[in-house]
Amino acid sequence: MDIYQSDSVMQILSRVFKLHRRHLHELLQNYEVYPGQPPLLIRLSERDGQSQHELAAQMRVKPATLTVMITRMEKTGLLRRGADSKDQRVSRVYLTDKGHQATTAVKKALREIEETCLKGFLTEEKLLFRRLLLQMYENLKDIEEQFD
């Protein structure tokens, strides 16, 4: 059906994104980790106890989104909130033991999928692909800043 019609780059990119997300979720079924959560776990494993505001900025997500996500993940026991000692407005987020275990699984799964994605790529193709993707991101970010 897609024979005579060539899909746009963004269409393909969107499919890659969705498939990646789905595979990752499948690999993490035993850990109660849902599709949006791996980035949060990764960030916390790099630096535990960050504020929700910091995390939201890194994840390019709105604070409101994180409030809900963190509340859910507190319920499933992956992490916990703690008060900041100096500023009572900020709540800091910490991985639990279960959260650390889940993060290990997340990283393993990410490595596996990344390897699958890049199967058949030459080293210079990987580098070039990454460079072009970054350039695309910068191009999009530039018109972003025109609106501010």
Partner DNA sequence: CACTAATCATTAGCCGACTAACTAATAGAG
Partner DNA sequence: CTCTATTAGTTAGTCGGCTAATGATTAGTG
Contacts with a second copy by CB under 8 A lie at 1, 5, 8-20, 23, 26, 39, 46, 58, 60, 110, 113-114, 116-121, 125-126, 128-130, 132-137, 139-144, 147
Q: Is residue 51 a contact point for DNA (CB under 7 A)? A: yes
- Which residue in the block uniquely carries the two structure tokens 């030459």? 122
Q: Exactly one of 28, 41, 70, 79 binds DNA (CB under 7 A); which one?
A: 70
Q: Which of 27, 42, 61, 110 binds DNA (CB under 7 A)?
A: 61
Please tell me whether residue 68 binds DNA under the rule CB under 7 A: yes
